[in-house]
Amino acid sequence: MALTRKLLVITAAAKHDLADAARRLEAFTADLDEGRIPEGDR
């Protein structure tokens, strides 16, 4: 659920501020690459 929520936040940000959405997506993918899965999705 938390994973879906994070993706929805990134998508919503993209509608208003593409640069912010890109930063959020980069941070999100870095967390996933390092094995940090959002709480609630374990």
pLDDT value at residue 21: 93
The DSSP code for 42 is: -
pTM of the model: 0.74
Count each helix (H run) and each strand (E run) in the chain, helices first: 2, 0
User: What does the pLDDT look like over 1-42, one tens digit per residue?
Assistant: 788 999 999 999 999 999 999 999 999 999 999 998 877 655
The DSSP code for 33 is: H
